Amino acid sequence: MRIFKGAERAAKRLMPEAWRMYFRASRYELLMRRLAPVDLVVHVGAHWAEDAGFYEACGARTVLWIEADPDTFAHLQHLLAGRDGSARHLAECALVSATAGETLGFHRFRGDGASSSVHRATEELTTRFPGAGETGEVLEMTTRSLPEILARQGVEVAAAARPMLVVDVQGHEFEVLKGLGDGLRAFALCKCEVSRLPIYQGGARFEEIDAQMRAMGFRLASHRYVQVPRHGDVLYLRADL
pLDDT at 148 over 80: yes
Q: Which uninterrupted H or E stretch holds 76?
A: helix 70-81
DSSP 8-class letter at 182:
G
Q: Higher confidence at residue 24 or residue 233?
A: 233
CA dist 138 and 130 (Å) reads 19
Residue 13 has pLDDT above 80, yes or no: no
Residue 29: pLDDT band (50, 70, 90) is confident
pLDDT at 1 over 60: no
Residue 9 pLDDT greater than 80, yes or no: no
Average pLDDT over residues 106-113: 93
Confidence of residue 131 (pLDDT cuts 50, 70, 90): confident
Q: Is the pLDDT of residue 5 over 90?
A: no
Separation between Cα atoms, residue 201 and residue 107, nearest integer Å: 12
Binned at pLDDT 50, 70 and 90, residue 111 comes out as: confident
Distance CA 27, CA 17 (A): 18
What was the pLDDT predicted at 4? 46
C-alpha 190/C-alpha 234 separation (Å) is 8
Q: Closest by alpha carbon to 211, among 198, 197, 192?
A: 192
**What's the rounded mean pLDDT across residues 124-152?**
94
Give the tens place of pLDDT for each residue, 155-164.
999 999 999 9
Give the pLDDT confidence score for residue 217 in this predicted structure: 98
**Region at 111 (left for phi over 0; alpha for psi -120 to 50; beta for the rest):** left
pLDDT tens-place string over residues 170-184 = 999 999 999 999 999
Q: Is the CB of residue 165 less than 8 Å from the CB of residue 132?
A: no
pLDDT band at 22 (very low <50, low <70, confident <90, very high): very low
The tens digit of pLDDT for each residue in 202-226 reads 999 999 999 999 999 999 999 999 9
The answer for 123, left when phi > 0, alpha when psi is -120 to 50, beta otherwise, is alpha
Is a pLDDT exceeding 70 seen at residue 10? no
The CA distance from 35 to 24, in Å, is 18
